[in-house]
Amino acid sequence: MANSFFGLHIGTSGLYAANTWLNITANNISNEQTEGYSRQTATQQASRPLRVYQRYGQLGSGVEVNNITRIRDEYYDVKYWLNQCKQGDSSTRSYYLTQIEDYFADDGTSGFTTEFGGFYNSLEELSKTPADLSARSSMLNYAQNFLEYMTTIRTNLQNTQADINAEISSNVDQINALAKEIAIINKQINVIELQGANANTLRDKRALLLDELSSIVEIDTNEITYTNGKSEFYVTICGKSLVNNYDCFSLEVIAREDKADADDLVGLYDIKWSYGEDFNPATSGTIGTLAALIKLRDGNNYVPEENNPHSVPIEFKGIPYYINEVEKFLEQLTTTLNDIHKDGVNLYDEKVEDIPLFIHTEEDDRYIVNPDILNDPAKMATSTVGTNSISATDIIDKLVESKEYRNFDGGTSKEALNTIITELSIDSKKAQDNERNYTNFRNLIQNQRLSIMGVDKDEEAMNLVKYQEAYDLSAKVIQIMSEVYDKLINETGV
């Protein structure tokens, strides 16, 4: 049978259980604003009953809390991680494409097409007074301004490529740091859970790290739990193991020895695993911030550079694509104008077939107005008859008419310029729309997660009242039992 003080034990078990619930509630309330925190709860059960060998059977021995768990649905975690890499991918594209779009922007007073229009307008003005040296000088300066503007665009694109390259290195460092921390937490979780407890806080911390990692690169996770409580946790990226339970593999950036595109900066980074295997999320069909950065830096619209074994086709219109489009436009434009100009005669009655209007410098790889003509505008040809008829403008007329030549992939030079701007605007708008959509999806999924794992202040406030009453009742049981035992011990006897 139960001893005389068994009632105190039962009351004390209720007191401890209520106190545990109060502590859990207090912890939930204090972590309401903690990022990644999962609401915790406890499970309790009746203690093992006592056999008293009476007709009424077993006697209950109170209550015990047997587990403290976190409330979380891993289904929404997986959905969130998948959306995170999509949102990170589109956000990165949107940011840099908008920046590139600004380089080509035109407000009507300065910009891409304005400079081009100013050059052709100056040609039309020159046709009115072809022998006027000041008019020639003005036209040549407009031409030089246009070419310098195009050079500035290319320089800005290459500067952006350098920024993206540095960000790629930063993202690789971040992946390594996150992988290392996840591996450490895996071990810490097992140290606690092999002793029979739940490592709730550590699991929340690991999930928060995975939230961050999933924005950078697309991830797959797998956890195996054994009957003894031991668990093994794995993270893979691009089909390769990043975290293998307690171990992790690292990535490293290595400067290229050979350019993937002739216009690339020197020393752009390739990514490799520490064991030497290549890693390129942009060509493996995955998404995320890192994949978007590589596509922006190396994207050639799936057209590798000819006769370059190091050029890899990447299906995205990135910086190499737009640099090549600008270079292709300038090459076609200057070639067309030079072909017209070479048939003329200058004011010195010299044929100019060996004096091109525009030249391409090998030293700094850019197009400029021929310095000989820029310094002496009389060397420029405006007609095929020279000083025999200083008012003749047949060469100038052809230069003006070249604006309508359809030798830019079937379009005019102006249409070619507008095509570049239009393509960029469409890609930028698409990235912005995707960013907005995936941001909305992220908020929706996060709200779904929080509806399960988040702390509800009203609910916790009610729990405080409920468990306080349970605590008071258990304390009342102990008080009454104390009075009974006082009567039994101090007032009963012979």
- What pLDDT is attached to residue 34? 94
On the question of pLDDT at 389 being above 80, the answer is no
CB-neighbour burial class of residue 436 (10 A; exposed 0-12, middle 13-18, buried 19+): middle
pLDDT per residue over 306-333, tens digit each? Answer: 889 989 999 999 999 999 999 999 999 9
> Which SS3 state, helix, strand or coil, does residue 415 take?
helix
Q: How many CA atoms lie within 13 A of 302 on its CB side?
A: 2
Asked if 269 contacts 256 with a C-beta cutoff of 8 angstroms, the reply is yes
List pLDDT tens digits, range 134-158.
999 999 999 999 999 999 999 999 9
Q: Which of 236, 254, 255 is nearest to 245 (CA)?
A: 236
pLDDT band for 114, please (50, 70, 90 cuts).
confident
pLDDT for the residue numbered 170? 97
Q: What is the pLDDT of residue 31?
A: 95
User: CB-based contacts of 126: which residues, under 8 Å, 6+ apart?
Assistant: 132, 135, 136, 138, 139, 382, 396
Q: Can you give the pLDDT at residue 493?
A: 60
What are the tens digits of pLDDT across the range 73-109?
Answer: 999 999 999 999 999 999 999 999 999 999 988 777 7
Judge whether 322 and 301 are in contact, CB under 8 Å: no
**28-81 tens-digit pLDDT:** 999 999 999 999 999 999 988 887 666 666 778 899 999 999 999 999 999 999
CA distance 14 to 20: 10
Q: Which residues of 313-332 are buried (b: 16+ CB within 10 A; e: fewer)?
A: ebebbbbbbbbbbbbebbeb
Section 272-292 average pLDDT: 93
Q: What was the pLDDT predicted at 328?
A: 94
pLDDT, residue 9, reads: 87
CB 404 within 8 A of CB 412: yes
Q: Copy the structure tokens of residue 75.
A: 């289904």
Question: 196-217 pLDDT, tens per residue?
Answer: 899 999 999 999 999 999 999 9
Q: What percent of the chain stands above pLDDT 70? A: 97
